[in-house]
Amino acid sequence: MYQTFNQGHKSAIKAATMSQQSINLERSQTWDALCFPVAAVPLETLLPTGYRIVPTDRKQAIVGELPDGTKNIFAMQSGEYSLIKNEVLREAAELYLPGHTIDASFTPQGEFSINLILPDEVNIASSTANTKVVDRLYKSMIINNSYSGKTPFSLQGTALKEHIETGTTSKMRVSYYRQVCTNGLMGWADDYMSFDQYLAWLLNGKPKKFKDALKIKDAELVVLTGRQVQREQEVLVDKKFHHKGLNLEVFKKQLASIFTAFQSQTNSLTPTIGVYKELAKRPTPENLATVITESGLPKMLARNAMDRLAEEMRLLETPANLWLAYNAVNHALFNSRSSLSISDRFRLDEAAFHQLATLALT
């Protein structure tokens, strides 16, 4: 692998660490587009003869060889940086999530959002006096990863953590894949132990500090023992995943454990599904465009969301409701041209979800 990068003229290597450009996310329904060769290479080996690196903490380059033969330098990282290859994720998914399909979004800068879609499904019904529309959702695992460092690795939007089992049942946030517009929906309300606690958080003004809300969890796995809520002892406590000093074998074991548990986890009673059902009951307000913009969505993306909502109303032959509005926002975020990173798109998606949930539930 290392020799592959070092062959040929150095001009064949393109630096992809330029400032973020306005782009459309690329899409793929196969792993092959995501699993090209990539490695952390000593930066000095890429320099022409006679050049040296002034002492710095960033002495290795993350270099990928794309399917068209182009070699991209995605980022410069420290010697402690641990690269997580998509191939590792593929191996774990194929072993522990049998029957999954994939729908991934990615950028030329080496950012990836990978939807692993499972056969389990749940329906969200929207009814009016004259129509009833049933939306089919599939249980999914959303994995974010990057070779640029702009989108830290995450499962279902939170950092991977190592947990010590206590003999109780572990559960994690559930995401969903919507068949109508092929978009992935993160289980944003699953950070709360119940639908009622999520509602209480909204009524309290969506406090940022967990201590101000009702036991909002700070990890993707929680322990449920009857009606008692307990947390597992966490070996890694940071919400953000740090790509330093990673033991790859331990990481693979963690993936195996989490994927296996997720495969058998039911999705029918999550707080997020409860919110979806409430959104589907509520018509959109006249000032919906303003509401969407107030959640933080850029004006251009808000306009795209309104256009998508009109398209969904036409496709489904149903009046607008907040469920369709949220899906329109999600679709606009992940299908519009923008300079936003993948992690920023998810951040805005979460803000819009809570904004529309506040309209529906309070």
Contact 25, 342 (CB under 8 A): yes
* pLDDT classification of 162: cutoffs 50, 70, 90: very low
- pLDDT given at position 156: 84
Whether 321 shows a pLDDT value over 80: the answer reads yes
pLDDT in tens, 338-349: 999 998 999 999
Q: Which has the minimum average pLDDT: 68-82, 160-174, 226-240, 244-258? A: 226-240
* pLDDT classification of 160: cutoffs 50, 70, 90: low
Q: Does residue 139 or residue 80 have the better pLDDT?
A: 139
Both tokens of 161, joined, read 């953590």
Whether 216 shows a pLDDT value over 80: the answer reads no
Both tokens of 172, joined, read 């994690």
* pLDDT classification of 306: cutoffs 50, 70, 90: very high
Give the pLDDT mean for 213-228: 39
Distance CA 327, CA 304 (A): 12
- pLDDT given at position 353: 97
pLDDT in tens, 91-105: 999 999 999 999 999
Q: Does residue 55 or residue 352 have the better pLDDT?
A: 352
Give the pLDDT mean for 144-159: 83
- pLDDT given at position 362: 83
Whether 115 shows a pLDDT value over 80: the answer reads yes
Whether 55 shows a pLDDT value over 70: the answer reads no
Percent of the chain residues topping a pLDDT of 90: 47
- pLDDT given at position 159: 58
